Structure 1
Amino acid sequence: MTCSDPTRTVPVADTVVPDGRPGAIPTALALATGTAVLVSAEFVPAGVLPLLADDLHVTEGRAGLAVAATALAGAITAPTIASVLPRADRRRVLLGLLMLALVSNLVVALAPSLPVLLAGRVLLGVAIAGFWSFTFGVGVAVTERPALVSTAMSLGTSVATIIGVPLASVLGDVIGWRAVFALLIAATAASGLVLARLLPPVPAHPGAGAAMMRQALGNRRLIAGVAMIALAAFANFAAYPYIRVALQAVTPSLVTVLLLAWGIGGLVGNLVGGWLSTRLRIGVVAAPAVLFVGLVLMAAHPSTVVVALAVLAWGTGFNMVPVTTQLWVSRAEPNRVEAAVSLQVTAFQAAITLGAVLGGLIVDHRDVWAAMAVGAGLAGLAAVGFAAVRLVPRED
């Protein structure tokens, strides 16, 4: 099949094309590896938070800024990076962003103090925001299969939460949190090699840049949806950086198992989100609604069994949010997908920043259960808000 637009790559078959290049599924999975290492790096502090805080002599609430700093940099970067790199080959951009993440993890692994660590985490925020902003458009340009690309990216997120955070928690106790970040350096390098091998060159969209973003910002339904995305992400990240603190308070011996349950819920949420790709109106409402249920149960924490159900629902609900909302914004603004996804990323990263800061204040001045309750309330509002926003593709 040949694309009429000469700036686009040729879409590929599922496994391999006649000239031997990787097909749609390997290409999507290659992008997923990058997503996996970046998400692992972003949220590893949640798995080693007590160790990190103790080593740097700060409170757990302040240590949670390791997540907030990354997200703040991402929120600033996501809507502007396409304007800075309007014509750059997207393959080279993605590889450069992975190398930036590698440098970030190196700075964090060697950081002697919290300010230095936060500086390293800012670099990671730039890498994550840029990678997420470009990856969906790159994947769709190569494969012409949006649901496959979105599901693969969310699969990378799920792998990170199923393996990355629980494994970081276990390894942090055994080898130390700094060694965990050293392992992330190796994983990031390996991901870059995979992407370099499997991803073909991808020219930038002809309309990429500031003009595309201004036009996307004029879509009122898109902006309303982005606001609900921010609310759902805010709900999650007011609580998530402190998940290990909460689990240790309930059942210290089962922390790793329950973190794994959160990750398994994430895998379920990823698959359900992909299944709902043809029912996005339902999907974007169901995701924060399930998150609401999980956080309500978590805030109540009457027993270990209820906490186990809570983290499973929590992981399921939150991990439905990225895949369903990514497809939602791309369908709301089909001619400006790169800009629409950048706004989704901005919403996520800004919400992570504010959520982590607010959650840290609540944890330090109240307790971790109050943070869970605040998250639950915000998730409920996001579900109601999405139910009120119609998904109407913009035609122009």
Structure 2
Amino acid sequence: MPTQSAAPSVPTSARITAPPGNPTWTPVVALSFGIAMLVASEFLPASVLPALAADVGVTEGTAGLAVAATAIAGALTAPSIAVLLPRTDRRTVLLALLAAAALSNLAVAVAPSFAVLLVGRLLLGVAIAGYWSFAFGAGTHAVPGRNHVVSSALSFGVSIATVLGVPLGSLVGDAVGWRTAFGGAAALCALSAVALAVALPSVPAHPTAGLRMLREALRNKRLMAGIGCVVLVAFGNFAAYPYIRIAIDQVDPGATMWMLLAWGVGGVAGPILAGMLSGRLRQLAAAAPIALGAALLLTATASSVPVLTVAVVLWGFAFNMVPVATQLWVTRVESERAESAIALQVTAFQIAITAGSALGGVLLDGHGVGLLLVVGAGATVAAGIGWAFMRVPRT
């Protein structure tokens, strides 16, 4: 993001005088905790799907819409929330979104029917998309000049939630019931709201935030080309990721738990290295999707556990570099309208999650897991090539 100093730049939306005193990382930790709770809530239905479906009287396939509904709501919310709340303090918005997530999980926990459950999940989609749109700017406001660390911290929270959320949700659901698991998620979202209220200072909205900012961001051709690459890489991953267990089972059904753990180990390391390499943003943005494509191809062709282990670790590692790389890329290319740039990035991810998982299911039913892995690899490599040919403004 262009500035006149040699220090790492900060988007204009976050270039507000920091609170007096020594900088503290507590707000960033609180923001990361919040996104971790939101993402864990997003994928919680996958942990308890059979019991949830049986209890509310729908098939497991229909119950799977609980995840898709969240993504669809997020795709609609990300570009519109700043338009609807152009002048509201971003701290207030973030706290309200975490409260909405707590209410969403509570609604699911007590839902008497699938319809009520879906309403709760739609509310969660609003909370996730809105939080993602504002969290980066709030973090760089609290800790100016450390964009790469803020982005890595937020993505690290997502990785931890992805690695631990599903297995822990499954354990809790099996032990005390799926409704209790959602009740616990509601409590944790409420706790994250309290932590953020204590840690995060006021974050005034940018003077041009709203529809004007969004319109001007949409006119940035380089930004929109990058958003197209975001769609490609997220589409490629989520055409394959929902079916990773099937790919593992084809090689060794007994290795599933360890392979998913290996994916998680790679996933935790990815954001950390991406933050360290953020000084070479163009190369990072190109390399992460290409490495992801290589991992998907290696998974498709693996015939032994050692080879599959390498593929799965690389998969988790490469994909979890992508959110850091893409967030930094869009805010570098559109530094004056970073809030809208991130909102468009979030929208691209949510659309790609929905479309990718849907097409992946069709390919799986018609042609098996190998083809969907190859299709996913093609999309991610295309994204990497696209970013390789796009220049990024210097910091």
TM-score (norm 2): 0.88
The alignment partner of 1:336 has SS state of helix
Q: 1:6 to 1:160 in 2, by over 3 A?
A: closer
- Poorly superposed stretches of 4+, deviation over 6 Å: 5-8
Counterpart CA distance in 2 for 1:283 and 1:12 is 32
Counterpart CA distance in 1 for 2:64 and 2:244 is 11
**Alignment match, 1:127:** 127
My pick for the range that moved more, 155-164 or 247-256, is: 247-256
Counterpart CA distance in 1 for 2:302 and 2:55 is 29
Listed one character per residue, the Cα deviations across residues 192-243 of structure 1 (whole Å, up to 9, x for unaligned) are 1110110011111111000011111111001000110111111111122333
How far the C-alpha of 1:306 sits from its partner, in A, is 2.8
Q: Does 1:266 align with 2:273?
A: no
**Alignment match, 2:101:** 101
RMSD, matched Cα: 2.7
How far the C-alpha of 1:9 sits from its partner, in A, is 5.0
Q: Is the 8 A contact 1:45 1:241 kept in 2?
A: no
How far the C-alpha of 1:368 sits from its partner, in A, is 3.9
**Alignment match, 2:161:** 160
**Alignment match, 1:38:** 38
Counterpart CA distance in 2 for 1:223 and 1:303 is 41
Q: Is the 8 A contact 2:14 2:140 kept in 1?
A: no
Q: Is the 8 A contact 1:64 1:356 kept in 2?
A: no
**Alignment match, 2:292:** 291
Q: For residue 140 of structure 1, what is the amino acid of its counterpart?
A: T
Unaligned runs of 5+ in 1: none
Counterpart CA distance in 2 for 1:111 and 1:249 is 37
Q: Is the 8 A contact 1:165 1:259 kept in 2?
A: no
Unaligned runs of 5+ in 2: 1-11
How far the C-alpha of 1:187 sits from its partner, in A, is 1.4
Q: Is the 8 A contact 1:166 1:260 kept in 2?
A: no
Q: For residue 390 of structure 1, what is the amino acid of its counterpart?
A: R
**Alignment match, 1:27:** 27
My pick for the range that moved more, 71-80 or 359-368, is: 359-368
Counterpart CA distance in 2 for 1:36 and 1:159 is 7
Counterpart CA distance in 1 for 2:165 and 2:237 is 18
How far the C-alpha of 1:76 sits from its partner, in A, is 0.8
Which structure 2 residues correspond to residues 216-227 of structure 1 after superposition, within 5 A? 216-227=217-228
Q: Does 1:10 align with 2:17?
A: yes
Q: 1:62 to 1:252 in 2, by over 3 A?
A: farther
The alignment partner of 2:336 has SS state of coil
**Alignment match, 1:143:** 143
**Alignment match, 2:244:** 243
Q: How many residues align?
A: 384
**Alignment match, 1:91:** 91
**Alignment match, 1:75:** 75
Q: Does 1:323 align with 2:298?
A: no
Which structure 2 residues correspond to residues 327-338 of structure 1 after superposition, within 5 A? 327-338=328-339
Q: For residue 303 of structure 1, what is the amino acid of its counterpart?
A: S
Listed one character per residue, the Cα deviations across residues 8-29 of structure 1 (whole Å, up to 9, x for unaligned) are 653269xxx36xxxx4311111
Q: For residue 72 of structure 1, what is the amino acid of its counterpart?
A: I
Counterpart CA distance in 1 for 2:259 and 2:72 is 28
Q: 1:169 to 1:376 in 2, by over 3 A?
A: farther
Counterpart CA distance in 2 for 1:125 and 1:386 is 28
